[in-house]
Structure 1
Amino acid sequence: MSKSTAKTVLITGTSSGIGLAAARRFAAQGWNVVATQRTPEKDTELREIPNVLVTRLDVQDIGTMAPAIDAGIQRFGRIDALVNNSGHGQYGLLEAVTHEQILAQFEVNVFGVMELTRAILPHFRRNKGGSIINVSSGAGLFTLPMISMYCASKFALEGFSEAISYELASQNIAVKLVIPHGGVTSTSFNARTAAGSANDTTLTDYDDFVANTAKAFAAMVSASNMSSDDVAKVIYGAATDGSGQLRYLVGDDARGFVKARREMTEGDYMAFMRAKFLPVA
């Protein structure tokens, strides 16, 4: 068993995007990294880094959680931080989304986070401390059409994280929310979301709305200028700043959604958002 004085972080979803960038950053800063993936046998990069252990963890399979945690402890002696990064985005009209797709959305973004957090808490309590960083989204602060399930899951993650932050502060365990907003480049998230979009060609009543929303989304995606490493940098900062801060926003609010949600009256906010997506009468 290899132990050192370096701290250790367990990160989910490290095969690409933000998770991969976070694994690289923590490792470069001298941390030991338990880089978890659904199919670790496909990894060709992280396993080449000496202080990184690539192991299997599927947030939709509770049975893979304890073995991943145990493997990290066996390799590095202890785990000091957990980064719940794995995410899934379900796109499509509510009427087109299936029950199975709803379950998958919540299994990845909410239930998996809850179960993995519960699984690691006894270890953190024995260590008399730890950090949990949950990767949220601007869609957990404001909502957008056509991604109602994703928004619902991120609102749930926000509420869950805030609530347990009070409980776990009593155990010297910090809970942090890193909230990318404005779009992230160098990630396969948007491509995977588009590929898994829920479609129902019989729902023609929504055609004008869907077309208008598609244009709005295309404009938002084209304006994205934040990289996965930008987010990873904030994740690392949240894990190491020693503060009691709960939320860390990262991104460009050029669209004004965050500002509108936080500063406008309810009526003004709803009018502002509807104007972005509803077809002009």
Structure 2
Amino acid sequence: MRLSRIESLAAAAVLEDCSDELDVLGLTVALRADKQRGPARAKEKVRLTNLRRDCQSISQQVLKLSSELEEKQSFSSLLAVLEEVKQEREAEEMKRQAKAELRQRITTLQRQQAEVQQRISTLKMVQIQLTEEREVHEKSVKFLQNRQEELQLLQQRWQRRTVQMLQEKKLEVATVCCKRTLNLDKLSEMRRKIREMERVVMEDREEQEKLRQQQREARAATKVQEWWRGCMARRGLGSFKKADDKKGEKKKRKKKKEVMKKK
């Protein structure tokens, strides 16, 4: 990309001013670095020295770019510098990654070494435990053999005792079976009696229910008859009609007698 002559000269003038300011900044940093004394400020002195070197490098690049703008009206050197800076950063990044991978590998190897040492210690402990367990196993085998002999003798005694107990239990079972047969007979008889009593109770309940039903029907019939007589009597129907006529005639006779007396 090319610029016009006027744009190139203006940019070159600005860059020369920047170069001058960078030179002044570099001198100021150099003076501050010279004032740093003692081991406590050695780190600050190193930082200021690096800063001065960066100022000088940038000032040189700025002057180079200014000269290129005045002569060629372009800034290809700036692009080259940017490309170099990019490559340097990529190289530094690759170095950092390589260092990080190296640290990670060292850490992994150290961890693996620790694991191997731990496994070796574990194997030693396992060998010790196996030796101890072997001794314990031998003692256990002897103890179990002795215990087995004792249990065999005990088993023989218990077998004899079991045969004797089986004979006794057989006699008891035979006795219990006889008693059970008698009890079953008694139970059957009791069940028969209970069924007979239940039948008698059911028959009695049925008779009682029939009697109560007859009483309810008789009361209902009595109420109906009483209601019907009341209706006949109020309306003067049937046999109740004559009685009403007689009562009317008696009332008429009484009225006549009363009238005669008054006269």
Fold agreement, TM-score > 0.5: no
TM-score, length of structure 2 as denominator length: 0.19
Structure (1/2) with the larger helix percentage: 2
TM-score, length of structure 1 as denominator length: 0.18
Structure (1/2) with the larger strand percentage: 1
